Amino acid sequence: MKITPEEISHVANLARLHMSQEEVEAMAHQLDDILTYVAKLNELDTESVTPTTHAISITNAFREDEVQPSLPRDKALANGPQQNGETFVVPRVI
């Protein structure tokens, strides 16, 4: 494995993280170490193994589609870094 700084920059952009060139290079080394370690999984033949998606076997958890009380708007907005009492406010998009 050799992870390039360009790949880290690409992934950081996907993850919406800003990273300095120094951070990108350090991260490339660390990710490389970790993925080299993880490559040991390829020692195992898993061709016919079903992947685990859930630790215990439960099927769809259905409930009645009933209206329940929800958070009042002022409580839902209370943690917003910028809000106008009705909506969250963000920098202009258009």
Partner 1 sequence: MSLFTLTIHELREMLARRQVSAVELTSDVLQRIEKVEDRVKAYITLDPESALKQAETADKELKEGTGGALCGIPLSIKDVLCTDGMRTTCGSRILENFVPPYDATSIAKLKEAGAVLLGKVAMDEFAMGSTSENCAFGPPRNPWNTEYICGGSSGGSAASVAADACIASLGTDTGGSIRQPASHCGVVGLKPTYGRVSRYGLVAFASSLDQVGPLTKDVTDCALMMNVISGYDAKDSTSVGQEVPDYRSTLTEGLHGMKVGIPREYFIKGLDPEVEKAVQHGIAILSEAGAETVEVSLPHTDYCVAVYYIVAPAEASSNLARYDGVRYGFRDKSSDTLLDMYKNSRSLGFGDEVKRRIIIGTYALSSGYYDAYYKKASKVRTLITEDFKKAFESCDVLASPVTPTPAWKLAEKIDDPLSVYLSDILTISANLAGIPSISVPCGFSSGGLPIGLQIQSSHFQEAKLLQAGYNLEQRLNISHLRPKNL
Q: CA-to-CA distance for 19 and 25, rounded, in angstroms?
A: 10
C-alpha R_g of the chain:
23
Taking CB under 8 A as the rule, does residue 44 contact partner 1?
yes
- Kindly give, in sequence order, each residue whose CB lies less than 8 Å from that of residue 18, ignoring residues fewer than 6 positions away: 12
The tokens describing 44, both together, are 């195992």
Q: Is 21 in the site for partner 1 (CB under 8 A)?
A: no
The answer to whether 2 contacts partner 1 (rule: CB under 8 A) is no
Residues forming the site for partner 1 (CB under 8 A): 7-8, 11-12, 14-19, 27, 30-31, 33-35, 37-38, 40-42, 44, 46, 49-56, 58, 61, 63, 71, 75-76, 78-82, 88, 90-91, 93
